[in-house]
Copies of this chain bind each other. A is one copy, B any other.
């Protein structure tokens, strides 16, 4: 049944048109997918999905090799999109906690589906890629 939906191609044409058009200069589909599939964005969402609530440096230490600047930028974007909630506690030293919103959790769930696909098919792809390289 999975293939049925694909073979007829109707849905794909609709999606293609949707992804290939812009409203007010932006294409929601492309724009949003591009943003969420960013390296640090993906890791941030997964980390917050797995650990619930994290402080800035906790998140930074978990991801490991992200620069402070990029984590800040990433989290600001996610906050602006309503995917992450940022809570500032007026203490000294300051404490800032991040967590996924309901929208964020919903997105996170969708991303697990994609990740599952990659888990199943990733090795085949990497292998294919490697073989392809050796031909040249």
Contacts and interface: CB of A to CB of B under 8 A. Distances in A.
Contact of A12 (B3, B112, B132): B112
Contacts of A34: 37-39
Contacts of A47: 12, 16, 20
A52 B13 CA distance: 10
A125 B20 contact: no
Interface in A3-55: 3, 5-6, 9-16, 18-20, 26, 28-34, 36-39, 42-43, 46-47, 49-52
Chain A contact-residue range equals 35 or more
A116 to B, nearest CB: 9
Contact of A19 (B79, B107, B108, B115): B115
Interface of A: 2-3, 5-6, 9-16, 18-20, 26, 28-34, 36-39, 42-43, 46-47, 49-52, 62-64, 79-83, 103, 105-115, 117-119, 121-126, 128-129, 132-133
